[in-house]
């Protein structure tokens, strides 16, 4: 990662936007009763914790702390110190070995000195958010009207995390109660003559999206992804398994995305970006191990489809400003796909605006994203899906109150932002306590869990991990270079 760091994150405490001072409502903490877990914050129809940003006075800062011990956006105030060059050197300290008092014990204090290089500038930030799946909207709908309001405000409003991005599936995903697509009948219908949205769109996803947009403090940009086209377009004619798009339906599949944008436009929801199908490796090399909606693409065929069908279709439509994000798969698959697409047809790279990245199995160092940015400097990198509990080695899909999972989120976001990623979209905005519903039983964790029978929801540590970025890095922020030096001071304490 070199010396580049997320300078904008360190500056935010002294450069937040003034939005007025409101007395925040504290977390209503609940001990989950499991050793090694942190608390969760409980919300219902009558109460939910809030957080607002405060403008610091010149020369001062406001810090917001969440901790394993139970702090949640706890505010503290201080004065910004200017460190001289002489003070940057490690000072002389007492040697505790010289003491004759056996009761004396060394305490090490660490002071961090940051050097900010404002002329070394990198990517602009688009934002942060989560995904409106069928499962998320089903759980949200289980709550009373008042609790639903608290839920949406918690994520999108001025007193919440101020999310400004959403990802939505085009049709069904595994986080649906059943597998479905659009225009399933008539079969082999190149013209998509029966393309209509589903009940899940009209009564679940669209209402949740529109409620979010209504309270958001900025434009909520929507990214849409297809998990699987209608099965009649696929070589295996199944929703899962090894199946790719039949070449004779390449144009129909491109039109499938245009039709989706048209239908959402009728509902007054604009699509900011589409991806070139969710996790193309699943229906290709990963087919034996994936039990949910998928469509496979080889890099070569993906390049051919984007260059000859999807790219021209989008650019020649009234949705020609919609971004096209390629791959939408794990970090380690990006070079494999992008180089393969480029070799098949360089026009495929010309049509795309960037690449979409997923969180899982990131065994490859994050510097790979900087290498991609260097090769394609006019493209953006957007993280479009992340969750915990979905890997084969996870002992539990849902770990209520897990601080470790919050820490993993923070580490991943920092790595991504320090390697040119412009935004980070979490997976389901909420799930039930088992990590569903999910028709394929592919249960995972979420920042918010909904207990519909009790008309309450709980905010997990992952929720606050997300908020330490989304709340304090508004759209248009820019990463700058910084370096860090830790100064160690030792002092003696008597007991």
Q: Which residues contact 349 (CB under 8 A, 6 or more apart)?
A: 338, 341, 342, 376, 379
Dmax of the chain from CA atoms? 90
CA distances from 283 to 224, 228, 335 (A): 19, 9, 18
Q: Is 385 a catalytic residue?
A: yes
| DSSP letter for each residue of 411-423 | HHHHHHHTTTEEE
Q: Which two tokens stand for residue 186?
A: 């008539």
For residue 371, give every residue at least 6 positions away whose Cβ sits within 8 Å of its Cβ, in sequence order, or none.
335
Q: Which of 200, 344, 385, 388 is catalytic?
A: 385
Q: Catalytic annotation on 279?
A: yes
Q: Which residues of 118-132 are buried (b: 16+ CB within 10 A; e: fewer)?
A: eeeebbebbbbbbbb
Enter the tokens of residue 208. 């949740």
Q: Strands (DSSP E) along 7-50, which ranges?
A: 29-30, 40-44
Which is catalytic among the residues 126, 263, 279, 388?
279
Ramachandran assignment for 420, one of left (phi > 0), alpha (psi -120 to 50 degrees), beta (any other): left
- Whose tokens are 């101020």? That residue is 162
The residues near 389 (Cβ < 8 Å, ≥ 6 apart) are 396, 397, 398, 399, 405, 435, 443, 444, 445
The catalytic residue positions are: 279, 385
């Amino acid at each position: 990662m070199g010396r580049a760091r997320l300078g904008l994150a360190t500056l935010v405490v002294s450069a937040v936007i003034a939005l007025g001072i409101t007395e925040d409502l504290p977390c209503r903490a609940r001990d989950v009763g499991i050793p090694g877990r942190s608390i969760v914050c409980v919300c219902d129809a009558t109460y939910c914790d809030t957080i607002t940003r405060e403008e610091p006075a010149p020369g001062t800062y406001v810090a917001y702390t969440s901790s394993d011990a139970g702090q949640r956006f706890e505010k503290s105030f201080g004065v910004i110190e200017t460190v001289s060059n002489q003070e940057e050197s490690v000072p002389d300290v007492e040697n505790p070995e010289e003491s004759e008092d056996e009761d004396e014990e060394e305490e090490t204090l660490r002071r961090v000195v940051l050097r900010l290089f404002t002329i070394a500038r990198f990517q602009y930030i688009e934002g942060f958010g989560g995904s409106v799946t069928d499962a998320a909207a089903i759980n949200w709908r289980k709550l009373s009207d008042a609790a639903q309001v608290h839920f949406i405000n918690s994520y999108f409003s001025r007193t919440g995390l101020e999310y400004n991005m959403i990802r939505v599936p085009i049709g069904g995903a595994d986080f649906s109660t059943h597998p479905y697509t659009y225009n399933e009948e008539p079969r082999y219908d190149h013209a998509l003559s029966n393309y209509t949205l589903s009940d899940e769109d009209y009564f679940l996803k669209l209402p949740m999206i529109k409620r979010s947009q209504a309270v958001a403090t900025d434009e909520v940009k929507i990214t849409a992804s297809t998990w699987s086209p209608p099965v009649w377009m696929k070589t295996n004619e199944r929703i899962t398994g090894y199946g790719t798009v039949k070449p004779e339906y390449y144009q129909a599949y491109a039109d499938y995305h245009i039709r989706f944008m048209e239908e959402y436009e009728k509902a007054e929801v604009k699509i900011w970006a589409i991806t070139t199908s969710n996790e193309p490796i699943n229906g290709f090399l990963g087919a034996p191990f994936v039990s949910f909606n998928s469509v496979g693409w080889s890099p070569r065929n993906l390049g051919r489809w984007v260059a000859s069908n999807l790219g021209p279709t989008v650019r020649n439509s009234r949705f020609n400003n919609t971004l096209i994000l390629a791959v939408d798969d794990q970090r380690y698959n990006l070079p494999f796909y992008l180089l393969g697409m480029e070799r098949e047809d360089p026009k495929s790279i010309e049509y795309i605006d960037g690449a979409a990245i997923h969180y899982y199995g990131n065994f490859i160092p994050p510097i790979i994203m900087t290498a991609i940015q260097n090769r394609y400097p006019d493209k953006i990198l957007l993280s479009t899906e992340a969750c915990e509990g979905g890997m084969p080695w996870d002992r539990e899909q849902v770990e209520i109150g897990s601080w470790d999972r919050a820490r993993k989120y923070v580490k991943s976001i920092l790595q991504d932002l320090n390697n040119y990623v412009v935004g980070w979209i979490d997976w389901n905005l909420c799930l039930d306590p088992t990590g569903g519903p999910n028709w394929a039983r592919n249960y995972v964790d979420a920042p918010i869990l909904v207990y519909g029978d009790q008309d309450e929801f709980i905010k997990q540590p992952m929720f606050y991990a997300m908020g330490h970025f989304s709340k304090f890095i508004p759209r248009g922020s820019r990463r700058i270079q910084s370096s860090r030096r830790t100064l160690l001071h030792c002092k003696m304490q008597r007991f």
